[in-house]
């Protein structure tokens, strides 16, 4: 197979990975797998193991940030641990549930709605406010709403981090392939 065709395939996989990452699918891993396959064909002489390990580290960090931003933002809004965990679980459940009836778009919408709903419901059903003060139902709803909104904002931040990682991995892999 010619080097030009393999480079074109790498570029197409990189572009597909960026699109997948935008829809909360494993795009960074698709790009990394394509880079590894490309480098394997050339005896790991084009990109090299050091670069592949660095790109894998970027992918892992992006996954961690994608998951933790919602939790961190919910906590910043005054969420209990229960609500922070609710945001995390709700985001995953929402992505799965809405992906089935609405593939691709449902993943993003489900992640945001699930993150909000998980944080909101967990905070609403929490026996006491994290600071220890008793809240009336109106204050509890206001806090739950605030926590849910911050959790959804965190989910968007996670999506942006994953997109940035996809661009970095794709750009580095393609640039290294072209340079050699």
Task: With cut-offs at 50, 70 and 90, classify the pLDDT of residue 39.
Answer: very high
Percentage of residues of the chain with pLDDT beyond 90: 48
Report the distance separating Cα 163 and Cα 160, nearest Å: 5
pLDDT at 81 over 70: yes
pLDDT digits (tens, 9 = 90+) for 111-166: 899 989 998 998 888 776 555 556 666 777 888 888 889 989 998 999 999 999 99
Asked whether residue 52 carries a pLDDT value surpassing 90, the answer given is: yes
Quick one: average pLDDT of 8-22?
Answer: 95
CB burial readout 11-49, b (16+ within 10 A) else e: bebbeebbebbbbbbbbbbbbbebbbebbeeeeeebbee
Q: What is the pLDDT of residue 133?
A: 56
pLDDT (mean) for 52-78: 90
List the chain domain ranges: 3-179
Predicted local distance difference test score (pLDDT) of residue 17: 97
Q: For residue 37, is pLDDT > 90? A: yes
CA 81 to mean position of chain CA atoms: 21
pTM: 0.81
pLDDT band, residue 99 (cuts 50/70/90)? confident
- The highest-confidence range among 12-16, 74-78, 176-180, by mean pLDDT, is 12-16
pLDDT of residue 1: 66
Q: Measured between alpha carbons, how far is 139 from 28 in angstroms, rounded to an integer?
A: 41
Tell me, what's the pLDDT at 125? 83
Task: Work out the mean pLDDT of the chain and round it to a whole number.
Answer: 88
């Amino acid at each position: 197979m010619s080097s030009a065709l393999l480079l074109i395939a790498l570029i197409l996989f990189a572009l597909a990975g960026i699109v997948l990452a935008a829809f909360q699918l494993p795009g960074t891993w698709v790009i990394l797998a394509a880079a590894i396959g490309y480098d394997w064909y050339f005896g790991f002489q084009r990109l090299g193991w050091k670069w592949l390990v660095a790109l894998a580290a970027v992918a892992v960090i992006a996954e961690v940030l994608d998951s933790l931003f919602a939790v961190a933002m919910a906590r910043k809004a005054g969420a209990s641990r229960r609500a922070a965990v609710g945001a995390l679980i709700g985001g995953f459940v929402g992505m799965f549930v809405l992906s089935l009836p609405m593939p691709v778009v449902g993943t993003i919408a489900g992640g945001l709605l699930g993150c909000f709903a998980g944080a909101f419901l967990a905070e609403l059903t929490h026996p006491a406010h994290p600071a220890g003060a008793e809240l009336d139902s109106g204050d509890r709803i206001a806090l739950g709403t605030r926590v849910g909104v911050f959790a959804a904002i965190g989910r968007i931040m996670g999506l942006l981090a994953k997109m940035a990682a996809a661009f970095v991995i794709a750009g580095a892999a393609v640039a290294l392939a072209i340079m050699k």
